[in-house]
Structure 1
């Protein structure tokens, strides 16, 4: 009994010892697993720490880069604003330069037109302004271009005095003064109306008188009609007598000339005074020419009227040369008038509105 108990106790002790050894083995395995896992966790923690450190550094670098990008973006924004303001300033300055150049050219053209009395400088300035605005293509200046077009049409519609043509006509009149016949000087070869008929009547009368004085031809001559020399001699004598009597009559008529003169002072001019009369007329015409060049149309009209009066008073109105000269003088007198070139007010107003 006691042996069975001892065996049972031994068995229990062996069993307990086996269980304890098994528990000890399991505990070792658990400790080893815990150590292994702790080591793994420690390594993973180290890796995580390193990654965290790297992430922190990366985030720090990223933050620095973001801050740098923000600073650069701010600088770019500031530079963009400055560039936009500079471009606006440049565009505004360019517009102002264009407006200033156009206004200055128009004012210079207006001064030239006032001095010369011609619309050509203003027309040229307006055309140049229109072409420049067409190339510029700025919507802000479209109103200025429309105003330029209106002023250009209005200036072209004005008929301005062509001073160069008038001076040429006056020079032609001055050149013709020396060839104009005077009333106080007898013109050779000029006959009064009906003089040709009177001369022919006188010639016929001379022929009739010659025939009456000569009488019929002698009887002997009539009997010798076959020879014909006497009749031929008779005809030659008659022709010579007729031409001689006509020449004598013309010379006799040239000794006396009857002319109607409405202005008595024209008949009192001596032949040696004709030179001074023509020179005075030339001086009057040259004064009118200088007045035209100086744009003094009232003075030119006065001189032209005086010259016209001298032509009507002292020169022979029956001369064809005088008719041509008087016609030229009347053309100059009719075209010598004051014409004002219109101002480009619409364009100047549009330029002032744009410059504000």
Structure 2
């Protein structure tokens, strides 16, 4: 017979059964945990021991290196002491030599200053001498070109020299150069060209004593053989009989009387002449008159080239008087020659060239 289930036994809870079996299961777990902890402790102890051993080795190595470094430092300190003693000796020697060099440098600077001072004096003397020579040339020739050239040369020399001590001299040179350039200089070459043109025209100028074709009356021009006669009007046909012959006689008589009257008028000319000697000039005298005018113009040209403006003015005025007296003023060539001569007379004048007083004063101040 099967046993009936015991309801009381089945009613016993499961946790109580588990609680009764837990002590038997905790013991192996505790043993395993202790073993693991022991192993971890052993590993940690071994690591600590190996780290300590490494630290000891590192300390020993560092101690050895520090001892070697200390020994090397001691050697270097000894070498430094020796080097410092040598350096001190060398510095003392260098100080002595520096003092000697400083003394020599002072002497050399004094020598250079003395040489520079003498060079400045030479430059000042050369510039002053060139300016005085240029002043003499200007006073002789009456031209500002020598003085302008001397001032330009002095300015260029001072620019190349670049001495601050002579800067005042250079400024004075520039001022005097501007003042000299500001004056109107006579253009001698242009005036000479104008005089040459007048000399060329002298042979072509018409005289008052020569026949003036443009000024003669029409009757006189018709009476001259070199002029072509005016065409005669066509004669009227003559009628037969006495009336025709009488008309022919009157026509011939009128033509003959007209020719006679033209010839009579060509023999007499009425002209207003201010200088009678101009009409009484012979052809050979006209040749010498033209040559005399050429000589006066050439003398005026030479006077202009030599800067003798008073002599040139005198010759030019005499030439203008001759042109007005002996030549026909109605001619265009005579008018052109008069105009050229008047232009030369107006421009050929003595110009007062200013003296370079500022430069000479600055040179005198710099030479002291």
| Shorter-chain TM band | 0.5 to 0.7
State the alpha-carbon separation in 2 of the partners of residues 79 and 254 from structure 1: 111
Matched ranges for 1:132-211 at <5 A = 132-187=157-212, 189-192=213-216, 195=217, 210=233
State the alpha-carbon separation in 2 of the partners of residues 70 and 106 from structure 1: 53
CA contact (8 A) 1:170 1:285 kept: yes
Indicate how the Cα distance of structure 1 residues 80 and 178 shifts in structure 2: closer, same or farther if over 3 A, else same.
same
Unpaired runs of 5+ residues, structure 2, are 1-84, 223-228, 241-254
Match of 1:215 in 2: 236
State the alpha-carbon separation in 2 of the partners of residues 85 and 279 from structure 1: 74
State the 1:196 CA deviation: 5.5
Given the alignment of the two structures, is residue 341 of structure 1 paired with residue 341 of structure 2, yes or no?
no
1:130-150 residue CA offsets vs partner (Å, 9 max, x unmatched): 233233332212211211111
1:305 alignment partner, one of 301, 317, 320: 317
CA contact (8 A) 2:166 2:366 kept: yes
SS in 1 for 2:360: helix
Match of 1:91 in 2: 116
1:66-95 residue CA offsets vs partner (Å, 9 max, x unmatched): 997776555434312210111111221232
CA contact (8 A) 2:143 2:307 kept: no
Given the alignment of the two structures, is residue 262 of structure 1 paired with residue 274 of structure 2, yes or no?
yes
Larger Rg: 2
State the alpha-carbon separation in 2 of the partners of residues 251 and 90 from structure 1: 100
Match of 1:271 in 2: 283
State the 1:103 CA deviation: 2.1
CA contact (8 A) 1:154 1:342 kept: yes
State the 1:283 CA deviation: 1.7
Matched ranges for 1:313-324 at <5 A = 313-324=325-336
SS in 1 for 2:274: coil
Indicate how the Cα distance of structure 1 residues 250 and 291 shifts in structure 2: closer, same or farther if over 3 A, else same.
farther
SS in 1 for 2:307: coil
Unpaired runs of 5+ residues, structure 1, are 1-58, 201-205, 220-241
Indicate how the Cα distance of structure 1 residues 70 and 199 shifts in structure 2: closer, same or farther if over 3 A, else same.
closer
1:329 alignment partner, one of 317, 337, 341: 341
SS in 2 for 1:179: coil
SS in 2 for 1:277: helix
State the 1:322 CA deviation: 0.3
1:253-285 residue CA offsets vs partner (Å, 9 max, x unmatched): 665543321101111211221111111112222
Given the alignment of the two structures, is residue 111 of structure 1 paired with residue 136 of structure 2, yes or no?
yes
CA contact (8 A) 2:176 2:356 kept: yes
Indicate how the Cα distance of structure 1 residues 177 and 250 shifts in structure 2: closer, same or farther if over 3 A, else same.
farther
CA contact (8 A) 1:160 1:341 kept: no
The structure carrying a bigger helix percent of its residues is 1
CA contact (8 A) 1:103 1:351 kept: yes
Task: Output the TM-score relative to the length of structure 1.
Answer: 0.63
State the alpha-carbon separation in 2 of the partners of residues 93 and 146 from structure 1: 21
